[in-house]
Amino acid sequence: MAAETKTAGTKTGSGIAMRGAGYYSAHTTGAKTVIDAATELVLEAGRDIKLDNPETAFGIADYGCADGGTSIDLHRAVIADIRRREPGRPISLTYTDLPGNDFSALFKRLQGQLPMDPIGLSNFDRLFPMASGTSFYRQIVPSGTLAVGFSATAMHWMSTLPSRITGHVHSVGAKGAEYDAFRAQSLKDWETILLHRAAELRPGGWLVMANFCVDEQGHYLGHTGGVCMFDQYERHWRGLFETGAITRTEYDRATFQQHYRTPEECAAPFRDPNSAVSRAGLELVRSFTRVTPCPYATAFQRDSDPAGFAKSYIPTLRSWSESTFFGALDPARPLDERQSLIDRYYDSYEADVAARPEGHGMDYVHCFMQIRKRRDA
């Protein structure tokens, strides 16, 4: 595949972007499995909503939706469930992501204009799908209008990068003051997210979230007992530096603007009755952790095809990590040079997995939460 095609759709320089043109959903079957596992929690939340006025819209939001492919089945199920109870109820569905997201791919999907889904959500009457390129670190929908807010695999992206990390690319490899800076910013970000959602929710409304976490066993994405994925990211990036392909500054600059909270940290604002989150009326109803096995590693255990495994596995890593490494490269380099460096980076990771496949895999580790806004709030 030509270098230009391989990086198409990446929003360069932002540091946070899924690959566009539907690439994200096509290469992240694990993320869809996670959302499928959250569907029952969302249905349960939806059934608890009572709206008196038949013209009031049942407001749903999907925070950090990417191209919408991984959550469309969930939304179909939720809309159909509301329709069974209330056939005439208007429903507004607000998809949200950062401004650089490929909203065009999302719109095509919703209107049934992508070959893999010729219907999308176009068969539902009185459904009003819309999108907002507003960060979830701000209020996105008007106060008191949201019935159910949903978010999967998005809120580990931080509002700002608190620090560079010496000798690593992710906060899971940070130590001392650098680790503390990530943790502190992430806790502040969590409170900001919750307070904005508290404003958006109507009394009695619900949030359902599946966020990446560090679980009770210390496991996190790509680190559940085998090779640690983030150590591999760092190793191959360092490889480019050690061969002189990238500069020291470029090596240092590659830092994921991410942090994984623990379930305890996620629950802390709800445990304190005097916290701003509790005072805003939010209550934690249910929380549990779940490991979703990497579908590519599972297929490898079955097929024993190392090259095939590497070829299918690396694109899923690339779908969400490429913007971080691309953004670390000196923008003074010509675009095609940056693209070929990024191709070389992932090619080296792929060759490594093909040569030594055992232990590689990106198991997902999530904290699922159901949160409710008190009816008297």
Which residues bind to ligand SAM, rule: CB under 6 A? 16-18, 28, 31, 35, 64-66, 70-71, 96-98, 101, 135-137, 152-154, 157, 320
Cβ atoms of residues 90 and 125 within 8 Å: no
Q: How far is the CB of 204 from ligand SAM (least distance, A)?
A: 25
In whole angstroms, the minimum distance from the beta carbon of 295 to ligand SAM comes to 13
Give 182 or 320: the residue with its C-beta nearer to ligand SAM.
Answer: 320
Min. distance of Cβ 154 from ligand SAM in angstroms? 3
Taking the complex as a whole, how short is the minimal distance between the CB of residue 221 and ligand SAM, in angstroms? 10
For the chain, give the secondary structure using H, E and C.
Answer: CCHHHHCCCCCCCCCCCCCCCCHHHHCCHHHHHHHHHHHHHHHHHHHCCCCCCCCCCEEEEEECCCCCCCCHHHHHHHHHHHHHHCCCCCEEEEEECCCCCCHHHHHHHHCCCECCECCCCCCCCCEEEEEECCCCCCCCCCCCCEEEEEEECCCCECCCCCCCCCCCCCHHHCCHHHHHHHHHHHHHHHHHHHHHHHHHEEEEEEEEEEEEECCCCCCECCECCCCCHHHHHHHHHHHHHHCCCCCHHHHHHCCCCECCECHHHHHHHHHCCCCHHHHCCEEEEEEEEEEECCHHHHHHHHHCCHHHHHHHHHHHHHHHHHHHHHHHCCCCCCHHHHHHHHHHHHHHHHHHHHHCCCCCCCCEEEEEEEEEECCCC
In terms of CB distance, is 142 or 359 closer to ligand SAM?
Answer: 142
Q: How far is the CB of 136 from ligand SAM (least distance, A)?
A: 4
Q: 171 or 278, CB closer to ligand SAM?
A: 171
Shortest Å distance, C-beta 64 to ligand SAM: 3
Nearer to ligand SAM, 95 or 346 (CB): 95
For ligand SAM, which is the closer residue by CB, 157 or 237? Answer: 157
Q: Which CB sits closer to ligand SAM, 17 or 317?
A: 17
Closest CB to ligand SAM among 27 and 377? 27
Shortest gap between Cβ of 53 and ligand SAM (angstroms)? 30
Query: Minimum distance from CB of 181 to ligand SAM (Å)?
Result: 18
Complex with ligand SAM: residue 71 or 340, whichever CB lies closer: 71
Q: Tell me the residue number closest to ligand SAM, measured at CB.
A: 64
